């Protein structure tokens, strides 16, 4: 994906900012600048930009546990301020930004301003390739080489020549940032599903009413009740929730092969924790196998049966305990490696 063209501005220099990218900060820095300009701000406190960088990465790091790489400053800072400020992983992005931008906590301020050591001036290095930090600061103040912004100790000032370009092309520029973030993070997380949809907090989670009504209620009604695989409690129609066996925050889908009835008050305890396969998989498989057999016999054309075809070639010969475990085990392992915790 290319940056929008301009006859008056050195777009090739802006593009060069992203050559040899080894961390995410360049994309989050530009994304934060665009957001501020969209809000009508042209002289921007650095604190606001640093707070936006973290708030933009908030869900990717804390909610979805996507790895940015061991040396990435944004991932470390995002995890740190979550604890320092005691902010929920599901907090709205605007509230995360406002809390960080206005924080008086010395530890939070230290995490934010750690970015000042390198991010603001090195982003401008393609405009000033032979200058060090002090030289970049000085040259940028006169908008030499049509640099994107001027640097000051506590703020940046957007070059007036760039303001219209940033406003007119804001959506395309943000798409450019997200597109390249996707490519960067996919390379760091080759086995993590659905990276593009983990760059921002999703809309409200889909209701599982259809899965419950058109699939699991058929099973529970036929059996009279089923046992919760975690607590052993008998679950009847209208008295169970559906749980993502492998957390939704990792798989990002509601396919029926990953959904299982669960005791409602235990659902909040499990949250996005990982099940222990040696303890829970056999019961999970047996309930899934019974469900498939029952639904096939009652409604053989049930649309939810098609969900199983995403992991099995067919439901006749390949739906076995070993095949199912072979599909679940790598997901659990990768999710654990990315920071998801196991149930106690």
pLDDT of 2-29, one tens digit each? 899 999 999 999 999 998 888 899 999 9
Helix, coil or strand: residue 5: coil
pLDDT confidence bin for 72, thresholds 50/70/90 = confident
> Global pTM?
0.75
Average pLDDT of every residue of the chain: 92
Retrieve residue 36's tokens. 């501020």
Average pLDDT over residues 100-112: 96
pLDDT in tens, 41-69: 999 999 999 999 999 999 999 988 999 98
End-to-end CA distance of the chain: 45
Q: Is there a contact between 36 and 44 (Cβ–Cβ < 8 Å)? A: yes
How far is 272 from 249, CA to CA, in rounded Å?
Answer: 7
Lowest mean pLDDT segment, chosen from 21-30, 226-235, 335-344 = 335-344
Q: Tell me the mean pLDDT in the region 75-94.
A: 92
| pLDDT for 203 | 53
- Residue boundaries of the structural domains of the chain: 11-198, 209-337
143 pLDDT above the threshold of 60 = yes
Q: Which helix (H) or strand (E) holds 219?
A: helix 217-223
Instruction: State phi, psi for 54 to the nearest 5 degrees.
Output: -70, -40
Residue 45 sits at φ, ψ, to 5 deg, of -60, 140
Q: Nearest 5°: phi and psi at 274? A: -90, 140
The answer to whether residue 205 scores a pLDDT higher than 80 is no
Please answer whether residues 236 and 220 qualify as being in contact, where contact means their C-beta atoms are separated by less than 8 angstroms: yes
């Amino acid at each position: 994906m290319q940056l929008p063209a301009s006859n008056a501005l050195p777009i090739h220099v802006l593009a060069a900012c992203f050559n040899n990218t080894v961390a995410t900060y360049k994309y989050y820095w530009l994304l934060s600048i665009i957001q501020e300009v969209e809000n009508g701000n042209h002289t921007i406190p650095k604190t606001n930009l640093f707070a936006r960088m973290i708030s933009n990465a908030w869900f990717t790091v804390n909610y979805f546990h996507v790895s940015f790489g061991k040396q990435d400053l944004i991932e470390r800072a995002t995890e740190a301020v979550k604890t320092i400020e005691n902010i929920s992983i599901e907090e709205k992005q605007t509230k995360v930004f406002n809390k960080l931008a206005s924080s008086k906590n010395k530890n939070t301020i230290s995490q934010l301003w750690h970015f000042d050591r390198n991010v603001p001036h090195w982003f401008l290095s393609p405009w000033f390739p032979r200058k060090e930090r002090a030289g970049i600061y000085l040259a940028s103040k006169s908008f030499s080489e049509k640099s994107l912004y001027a640097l000051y100790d506590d703020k940046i000032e957007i070059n007036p020549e760039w303001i219209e370009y940033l406003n007119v092309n804001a959506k395309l520029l943000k798409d450019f940032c997200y597109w390249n973030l996707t490519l960067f993070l996919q390379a760091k997380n080759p086995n993590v599903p659905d990276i593009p949809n983990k760059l921002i907090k999703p809309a409200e989670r889909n209701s599982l009413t259809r899965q419950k009504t058109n699939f699991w209620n058929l099973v529970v009604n036929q059996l009279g009740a089923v046992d919760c695989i975690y607590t052993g409690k008998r679950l009847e129609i209208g008295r169970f929730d559906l749980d993502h066996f492998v957390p939704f925050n990792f798989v990002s889908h509601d396919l029926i092969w990953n959904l299982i009835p669960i005791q409602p008050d235990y659902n909040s305890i499990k949250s996005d924790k990982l099940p222990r396969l040696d303890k829970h998989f056999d019961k999970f498989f047996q309930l899934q196998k019974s469900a498939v057999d029952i639904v096939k016999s009652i409604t053989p054309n049930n649309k939810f049966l098609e969900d199983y075809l995403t992991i099995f070639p067919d439901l006749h010969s390949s739906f076995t305990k070993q095949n199912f475990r072979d599909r679940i085990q790598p997901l659990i392992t990768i999710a654990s490696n990315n920071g998801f915790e196991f149930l106690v």
